[in-house]
């Protein structure tokens, strides 16, 4: 805790942030995401008068949530000014990503820098047992000296969309066979710190938007290729909500009517090219034995023909998909993430080819930054959701 904020010996809690007034929250977000900023510049960015800005920042500085950094001089008139900042290391957040068989956890500071990390196999897969396991994971990570004040959980799933009168906080996670589970309250009870639950792809997009490769972009898309296909779209600095149905449609969007078949029996869709299952079964079919994604990407790089062809198709499919997204939404950046990323990367020379077949002006290329194929960024997305929900307190997503 910063020395000016609380009497020594007290532990920081999330309540200090939750007490921040609603009009001051955009200002917290600005400093948190974009870094130290002078009052004059903050007023300009947020469209506030200098007087209003001063009124909003005063209690935040007094309580230690904002601190003044060293003097800089106004480029226009040379007046000395002290940029406002947050103290990132004062607060820590737990981010957890659940897959069908593992739990990935990170602890981050207030600017989503990872300070501790651990993953382990998932034990009993009831919501209560997973919550208890997450509580143990938190204790283990906190031993490094960074007890988290809030947690964000991310997993493949969505709030139920079927009836609008449903009580808030319910969550469906088909891959764990969880239906209408009051997951946030189960987690709150087990963890003893405020918890938020969020679709993993939307959380990853938010994490990359605030503290990752999409920082500073008001518009971008994210495609994830792993056990399932995921999609997120950010327009005007806002990540659009999706439902389970939206994502299923996206995963079966057809890229080539003569392409490989997906498990539902239709041909050439995104998941038939890019899902882990499709890639692994194509490789097993060609090589007459089971192989891992890692081996496919390695052997593709070595020139082995079966792996090379799978990587070529994955690269082409990603290029065609990115071009379709760009043509329909006007975004110029499509982030790529998920377990299949390394195979797509092995076929990177074919991404341009897929794009140029879908672009009228083929030279107007689309940027496709690729994240790591590990789950660290996904867990970090959970921590960013906790920061977004409990520090910045952005309004809860509307809709489903
Ligand atoms: Zn399909």
User: Would 110 be classed as within a structural domain?
Assistant: yes
**From ligand 1's centre to the CA of 278, what distance in Å?**
10
Domain hosting 318: range is: 215-370
- Give SS3 for 103: strand
User: Would 7 be classed as within a structural domain?
Assistant: no
How far is 176 from 38, CA to CA, in rounded Å? Answer: 47
* pLDDT averaged per 10 residues, the chain (length 400): 42 85 93 93 94 93 91 82 91 96 97 96 97 97 90 95 71 94 96 96 97 96 96 96 92 95 92 96 96 96 96 97 96 97 96 92 84 96 97 67
What is the reported pLDDT for 165? Answer: 59
Domain count, the chain: 3
Q: 333 and 382 in one domain?
A: no
Q: 316 and 221 in one domain?
A: yes
Residue 313, CA distances (Å) to 192, 208, 235, 351 in order: 47, 27, 29, 9
User: Would 195 be classed as within a structural domain?
Assistant: yes
User: Would 323 be classed as within a structural domain?
Assistant: yes
What is the distance of C-alpha 31 from the center of its chain?
20
- Give SS3 for 97: strand
- Among residues 2, 26, 376, 11, the alpha carbon closest in space to that of 193 is found at 11
DSSP run (H or E) holding 382: helix 376-387
**From ligand 1's centre to the CA of 292, what distance in Å?**
22
How far is 127 from 77, CA to CA, in rounded Å? Answer: 59
Inter-residue contact 344 to 318 (CB < 8 Å): yes
- Among residues 228, 127, 118, 233, the alpha carbon closest in space to that of 171 is found at 127
Q: 246 and 200 in one domain?
A: no
Q: 222 and 337 in one domain?
A: yes
**Cα dihedral: 109, 110, 114, 117 (round 10):** 60
User: Would 358 be classed as within a structural domain?
Assistant: yes
DSSP run (H or E) holding 58: helix 50-62
User: Would 4 be classed as within a structural domain?
Assistant: no
**From ligand 1's centre to the CA of 276, what distance in Å?**
13
**From ligand 1's centre to the CA of 83, what distance in Å?**
52
Q: Domain boundary residue among 89, 110, 125?
A: 89
How far is 307 from 279, CA to CA, in rounded Å? Answer: 9
Q: Domain boundary residue among 60, 89, 118?
A: 89
**From ligand 1's centre to the CA of 326, what distance in Å?**
21
How far is 223 from 207, CA to CA, in rounded Å? Answer: 14
How far is 78 from 255, CA to CA, in rounded Å? Answer: 57
**From ligand 1's centre to the CA of 251, what distance in Å?**
7
How far is 301 from 158, CA to CA, in rounded Å? Answer: 37
**From ligand 1's centre to the CA of 249, what distance in Å?**
9
Where are any strands of DSSP class E within 299-367?
334-337
Q: 226 and 357 in one domain?
A: yes
**From ligand 1's centre to the CA of 113, what distance in Å?**
37
Q: List the CATH number of the domain containing 308.
A: 3.30.420.40
Q: List the CATH number of the domain containing 61.
A: 1.10.10.10
**From ligand 1's centre to the CA of 262, what distance in Å?**
5
What is the reported pLDDT for 400? Answer: 34
**From ligand 1's centre to the CA of 257, what distance in Å?**
11
Q: 309 and 253 in one domain?
A: yes
User: Would 49 be classed as within a structural domain?
Assistant: yes
**From ligand 1's centre to the CA of 254, what distance in Å?**
7
Q: 234 and 196 in one domain?
A: no
**From ligand 1's centre to the CA of 348, what distance in Å?**
23
What is the reported pLDDT for 388? Answer: 96
Q: Domain boundary residue among 73, 89, 105?
A: 89
User: Would 2 be classed as within a structural domain?
Assistant: no
**From ligand 1's centre to the CA of 260, what distance in Å?**
9
**From ligand 1's centre to the CA of 248, what distance in Å?**
9
**From ligand 1's centre to the CA of 228, what distance in Å?**
11
């Amino acid at each position: 805790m910063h020395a000016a904020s609380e009497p020594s010996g007290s532990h920081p809690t999330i309540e200090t942030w939750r007490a921040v007034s609603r009009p001051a929250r955009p200002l917290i977000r600005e400093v948190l995401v974009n870094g130290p900023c002078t009052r004059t510049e903050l007023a300009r960015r947020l469209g506030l008068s200098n007087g209003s800005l001063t009124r909003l920042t005063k209690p935040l500085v007094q309580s230690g949530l904002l601190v003044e950094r060293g003097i800089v001089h106004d480029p226009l008139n040379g007046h000395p000014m002290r940029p406002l900042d947050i103290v990132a290391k004062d607060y820590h957040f737990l981010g957890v990503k659940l897959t069908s068989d593992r739990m990935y956890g990170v602890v981050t500071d207030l600017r989503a820098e990872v300070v501790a990390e651990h993953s382990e196999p998932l034990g009993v897969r009831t919501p209560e047992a997973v919550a208890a396991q997450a509580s143990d994971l938190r204790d283990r990570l906190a031993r490094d000296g960074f007890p988290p004040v809030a947690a964000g959980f991310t997993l493949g799933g969505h709030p139920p969309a079927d009836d609008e009168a449903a009580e808030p906080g319910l969550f469906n996670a088909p891959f764990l066979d969880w239906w209408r589970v009051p997951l946030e309250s189960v987690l709150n009870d087990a963890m003893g710190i405020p918890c938020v639950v969020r679709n993993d792809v939307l959380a990853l997009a938010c994490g990359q938007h605030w503290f990752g490769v999409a920082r500073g972009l008001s518009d971008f898309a994210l495609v994830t290729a792993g056990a399932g296909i995921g999609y997120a779209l950010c327009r005007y600095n806002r990540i659009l909500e999706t439902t389970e149905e939206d994502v299923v449609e996206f995963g079966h969007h057809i890229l080539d009517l003569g392409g490989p078949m997906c498990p539902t029996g239709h041909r050439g869709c995104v998941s038939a090219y890019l899902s882990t299952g499709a890639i692994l079964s194509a490789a097993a079919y060609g090589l007459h034995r089971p192989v891992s994604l890692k081996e496919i990407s390695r052997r593709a790089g070595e020139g082995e023909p079966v792996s090379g062809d799978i990587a070529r198709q994955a690269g082409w499919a990603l290029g065609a998909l990115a071009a379709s997204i760009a043509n329909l939404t006007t975004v110029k950046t499509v982030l790529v993430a998920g377990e299949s990323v390394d195979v797509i990367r092995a076929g990177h020379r074919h991404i341009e080819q897929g794009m140029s077949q879908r672009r009228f002006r083929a030279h107007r290329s689309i940027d496709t930054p690729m994240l790591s194929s590990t789950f660290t960024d996904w867990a970090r997305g959970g921590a960013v959701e906790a920061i977004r929900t409990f520090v910045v307190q952005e309004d809860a997503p509307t809709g489903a």
